[in-house]
Copies of this chain bind each other. A is one copy, B any other.
Amino acid sequence: MMSRKNPKTHEIVLRCGTIVTMNQERPVLKNMDIHVQEGIIISIQPSRSCPAQYPDLVEFIDAEEALVIPGLVNAHTHVAMTLFRGLADDLPLRQWLFEKIFPAEAEHLSPETVYWGALLGCIEMIASGTTCFSDGYFFQGQTMLAAHKAGIRALIGQGVIDFPAPGVSDPKKNLEIGEQFIEKWLNFSDLLTPSLFCHSPVTCSEDTLTGALDICRSHRVPLQIHLSETQDEISTIVQQKGRRPVEYLDQLGLLSEDLIAAHVVHLDEREMAILRDRGVKVVHVPESNMKLASGVSRPAEMIRMGIPVGIGTDGPASNNDLDLLMEMDTAAKLSKVYTGDPTSLKAWAVLRMATIGGAAVLGLAEQIGSIEEGKRADMVVLDLQQPHLQPMYDPVSTVVYSASGGDVRDVIIDGKVIMKNREFVSLDTQEAAWHVRRIAENIHP
């Protein structure tokens, strides 16, 4: 609907590109034109052959010295945490969370700060090639507005936790506020889906967990959760519930295709089989797990077992960036050194996690995640003229092992050109940065 307001977005032709489609049948295409109408990819044809039906309304993007990839899907983040980027590094997760982040959130989160933090994060994601993200946080109506302002696609979960939280002073009302959030935003935009985000099996009671799932199911939206992130979580749940977190959630009936579980680091073989059997979707979050020394997840094994696996950056306070191109590189390398097998998670597999895999985790694989006729046009153009991208023997190797966020030249989301030649078409990026700096002046490490 947004796109109709701007005649330029009506019809787009990407010219002469090398396309990493992530379509299984035709993975890489060379010298092709991609024709976009009303937000949809209507044709992919040998270059210069496609007819422009409305020539004066067509926007041409020259992709001759460029590489076109599907828009990346950041399947786990807390985007407004740009506010706390670099506030507290080099600390264990428990100390980082309970002594630094929770107190900073309690003191400094407000609808205003979340809006600017989320908008800055959306700008950062778009500028580094992400066109869709999955988020969990508080004051999430503000993240909705920020994502809408930026023009990015998202699944936005209202945080649910059994402690007093920003905007939810009485934890008894966490589910009520969550359900109001879903109802309010469910029909706001085709690009944005509301959901709930349960903080963890440790910080949410059985009733909270099952109540959150019921609410999500009744509105046909996914439930998100942090699961088996640290050894500490495993020990606590084993002590409290007499079983490991995956088994505990299974007993509660929480494990199903409706659940998106992030991290999933500490998992035995039996738990992995349970996740697979229940259809749970998993998000691999390698850099945050490394930085907080939480452990190393095993995405290659999970993929081999048939579990849908996406990839996420986590929030910028534990990474400290939202750059999926760099996250892919780390994911591939970490899997290799951790398993001792350099073939364990190849470039193709990791790019799949960041595109069609992430789309499947979010329940959007029919609409996005690959460049195919009939899909929504979420596409990223990488500038191949950078010295570190020369030469290019294999486009997928170039994307995963050599490119980083700064190489993204143009970004198209739902058929709308959001960034062109590294400039945002209709967004004042310095405004968000200015507000976040102003807010940060009052936050002290």
Contact = CB atoms under 8 A, between A and B. Distances in A.
Interface of A: 82-83, 85-87, 89-93, 96, 120, 123-124, 127-128, 287, 289-296, 316, 319-323, 326, 329-330, 332-334, 336-337, 339-344, 346-347, 385, 387-388, 390-394, 397-398, 401-402, 404-407, 429-430, 432-433, 436-437, 439-440, 443, 445
Given A387-B433, A388-B405, A90 B346 contact: yes
27 contacts: A82-B391, A86-B393, A89-B401, A91-B343, A92-B343, A120-B387, A123-B387, A124-B387, A291-B332, A291-B342, A295-B337, A316-B388, A320-B402, A321-B401, A321-B402, A326-B326, A326-B404, A334-B334, A385-B433, A388-B405, A390-B436, A393-B440, A393-B443, A393-B445, A404-B405, A404-B406, A405-B406
A310 B347 CA distance: 28
Nearest to A345: B90
Contacts of A332: 90, 291
Contact of A336 (B82, B86, B291, B436): B291
A404 B401 contact: no
A293 B336 contact: yes
A202 B61 CA distance: 52
Q: Of A346, A385, A391, which is in contact with the most chain B CB atoms at under 10 Å from its CB?
A: A391
A339 B86 CA distance: 22
B436 A401 contact: no
Contacts of A85: 390-391, 393, 402
Contacts of A289: 337
Contacts of A296: 337
Nearest to A445: B393
A385 B339 contact: no
Contact of A388 (B87, B128, B293): B128
B404 A323 contact: yes
A397 B86 contact: yes
B86 A392 contact: yes
B388 A342 contact: no
A347 B387 contact: no
A326 B86 CA distance: 16
Contact of A333 (B123, B330, B404): B330
A337 B334 CA distance: 10
A332 B252 CA distance: 38
A428 to B, nearest CB: 12
A394 B89 contact: yes
A403 to B, nearest CB: 9
Given A85-B402, A385-B430, A401-B319, A391 B346 contact: no
B124 A429 contact: no
Given A92-B341, A92-B343, 13 more contacts: A82-B390, A89-B394, A90-B332, A90-B347, A93-B342, A291-B336, A293-B341, A320-B397, A321-B401, A322-B388, A385-B430, A390-B433, A392-B440
